[in-house]
A and B are shown apart, each in its own frame.
Chain A
Amino acid sequence: MSANKILIVDDEEIIVRLLSMSLRSDGYETLAAYSGEQGLEVFKSESPDIVVTDIKMPGMDGLELLKKIKEINSEKEVIIVTGHGDIDSTITALQYGASDFINKPVRDESLAIALERAKAKIAIREKLKEYTENLEIKIAEATEEIRRKSNFQRLLIKSSNDAIVAFDHDWKVVVYNPEAARIFGETAKDVRNKMTIDDLYTPKIAKIFKNQAKIEKQENTFAWRENIINTKDGRQIPVRYNSNVLHEKGDFVGTVSFFQDLTEIKRLEKELVQSERLAAVGQTVSGLAHYVKNILIGLQGGSYVVDVGIAKNNTEKFKTGWKTIKRNIKRVGDLTRDLLTYSKQREPEFEDCQPNDIVNEVIELVKDFVGSKDILISKDFDNSIGEVVADPQTIHRSLLNLITNAIDACVEDEDTSKKHEIKVKTYMDNNNYFCFEVKDNGCGMDKDTQKQLFDPMFSSKGGKGTGLGLLVTSKLIEEHNGVIETKTSPGDGSAFTIKLPYEKANTVDIN
């Protein structure tokens, strides 16, 4: 829009007419008024862009008109026509907001310059207005876009199946989504902007993150790790987590971590192991049937011998038969127990116990059996093991199985020139495990046998083994977070080592 409409106010009609003529020939549209009052009327009705007014007029003078106009619209340009040396009026006019002054008599050039200046001012003001308006629109648009984006991101974080937790550079929680609330059991209200990493995480995880932030100069991911989260309400949730250290222009600004709940996966894994185990039992029913058949043979033979003993009143026969029956009843018992142990999930029952004592018990138990076989059992115990927290059942049954196996390996050995010996040793290793080694110089195992050692229902003992012994042992050891190791050489014997995590018994009295 160009400023084209000009109002000329002067009490001298001739001046108004001359100026109007001159301006019209320059292409302006002109309005005329011959007094301040009339000028104000025309201004109100026509709203000209520029007003040129004489300062001295009867009634409402130029200054009064200027003031009134500015009151109505401060953006209108008013050019004051003054006489020479009228400094006071000029200052007042300036105070009222006059845009320019021209002296009387009005010359065309000076009027043209003043008008151009006024027009330029109007143009700038309009431009400015346009910019301001545009800027407001743009800011509104940008604000809306930011709001939309941040809302979208908020929804993303909120709806994530991962628990997302972010910390600022002071380790205060700033992001904490609903899945995080579910895993940690603390509500977002209690956590966000209130808790620090030390309040929310276990000391172990907190330490990992803090160390990570120290080391990493760049934004960096670290590998997925697994851990257990203890929730506020006492649940234990297995999680897989990873974390990014966040930097902005090289400065550490925080970290973000992602947690995935593994409860369901762990449950499925457990189920899978369980079903594999059951399948293994099923698969090997024939091996089992063979073993049961041997027990049946024993029981039938035994009862025949007992019958003869009764009929002939022969106590010796009776005793022999009865022993056979009892031995086979025990075999049924052992088999049942092994099958149950193998097919069921069992948690070790930890208590304070003395591993060396347990080994002693087991050796006493097998001694009678060994006595008739000419096999020496020697002991080499590390007394520094002392009392530990462990499951005595696991130790007892594993050791019994390994020592029985060692005896069988000596019995089966075709080399009768050997003096057969079983060495049972306990010791502490360098990785904080307490260990049991059962070493024999019996028949040993070839590669094939060794490979199948921990397979279900594999037995190197023909019909005399259930094929469950080592399997049950390795399962017990695994459940106890231990390991079982084998060394063997055909003809020279075998050594089995069980390693269990060492935890010293808490012998402090509870008072």
Chain B
Amino acid sequence: MSQKVLVVDDDQDVRSFVVTVLEENQYMPLVAQDGIEGLEMIEKEKPDLVILDVLMPRGSGIRLYRKMKTDKDLEKIPIIMFTGIALRSFLKSQKALDEFKGGKVPEPDIYLEKPVEPEELVAAIKKKLG
């Protein structure tokens, strides 16, 4: 059975792009439109990988990333950040939250800044899923 990859992005255009890339590489795509829907899908479907946008209405990627990294059941699920926001801005907001909430959330090991060529995205997925 092919591996399940969840795309969490509010942009319809981005979702259809990533879904196509996944299908072309024999993964099974799942989609969610925002952070809240994303968390529901993760808990229900237990995907093998999450491709996560940062800026979204209703539960941003910043929050969902934090939730997953601080949840025992979810922290093992690999995440690819896939966003228009610069890494620096993302780390800054995580650091601010670290200080506010205490503790330290690890930095994402794969952070892709849109726009991304399909090959680049595939390479990142393969790196995580083998």
Contact = CB atoms under 8 A, between A and B. Distances in A.
B104 interface: no
Interface residues of B, number: 21
Contacts of A305: 16-17, 20
B17 A414 contact: no
A301 B14 contact: yes
A294 B9 CA distance: 13
A324 B17 contact: yes
Contacts of B11: 294, 297-298, 464
B114 interface: yes
Contacts of A320: 16, 20
B58 A414 contact: yes
Contacts of B115: 293, 296-297, 300-301
Given A293-B115, A297-B13, A305-B17, A412 B57 contact: yes
A417 interface: no
A308 B25 CA distance: 12
B32 interface: no
A320 to B, nearest CB: 5
B89 to A, nearest CB: 11
Contacts, number: 65
A308 B57 CA distance: 30
Contact of B17 (A294, A304, A327, A462): A304
A462 B55 contact: yes
A416 interface: yes
Given A290-B84, A293-B84, A296-B115, A301 B58 contact: no
A302 B58 contact: no
A321 interface: yes
A405 to B, nearest CB: 14
Interface in A403-417: 411-414, 416
A308 B12 CA distance: 17
B118 interface: yes
User: From DSSP, what is the main secondary structure of chain A's interface residues?
Assistant: helix
A318 B2 CA distance: 24
B21 interface: yes
Given A293-B115, A300-B115, A317-B20, A416 B58 contact: yes
Contacts of A294: 11, 84, 114
Nearest to B60: A462
Interface string B111-130: 00011011000000000000
A297 B14 contact: yes
A463 interface: yes
Interface string A149-171: 00000000000000000000000
Contact of B13 (A293, A298, A317, A411): A298
Given A290-B84, A297-B84, A411-B57, A308 B24 contact: yes
Nearest to A295: B13
B13 A327 contact: yes
Interface string A138-153: 0000000000000000
A177 interface: no
B24 A328 contact: no
Interface string A206-224: 0000000000000000000
A317 B23 CA distance: 11
Interface string B4-41: 00000001111011101101100000000000100000
B118 A328 contact: no
Interface string A311-353: 0000001001100100110000000000000000000000000
Given A293-B114, A297-B114, A302 B59 contact: no
Interface in A439-473: 462-464
Nearest to A301: B17
Nearest to A291: B84
A324 B13 contact: yes
Nearest to B84: A463
Interface string A276-294: 0000000000000010011
A413 B118 CA distance: 32
A353 to B, nearest CB: 35
Interface in A394-434: 411-414, 416
A304 B118 contact: yes
A308 B24 CA distance: 8
A321 B12 CA distance: 11
Interface in A463-490: 463-464
Contacts of B20: 304-305, 308, 317, 320-321
28 contacts: A290-B84, A293-B84, A293-B114, A294-B11, A296-B115, A297-B11, A297-B14, A297-B115, A300-B17, A300-B115, A301-B13, A301-B14, A301-B115, A304-B21, A304-B118, A305-B20, A308-B24, A320-B20, A321-B16, A324-B13, A324-B16, A328-B13, A411-B57, A412-B58, A413-B58, A414-B58, A416-B36, A463-B84
Given A297-B84, A301-B16, A463-B55, 14 more contacts: A297-B11, A297-B14, A300-B117, A302-B13, A302-B16, A304-B17, A305-B17, A308-B20, A308-B24, A320-B16, A324-B16, A411-B57, A414-B36, A462-B55
Q: Which 10 A-B pairs have the closest CB atoms?
A: A301-B17, A298-B13, A412-B57, A462-B55, A324-B13, A297-B115, A305-B20, A297-B114, A414-B58, A320-B16
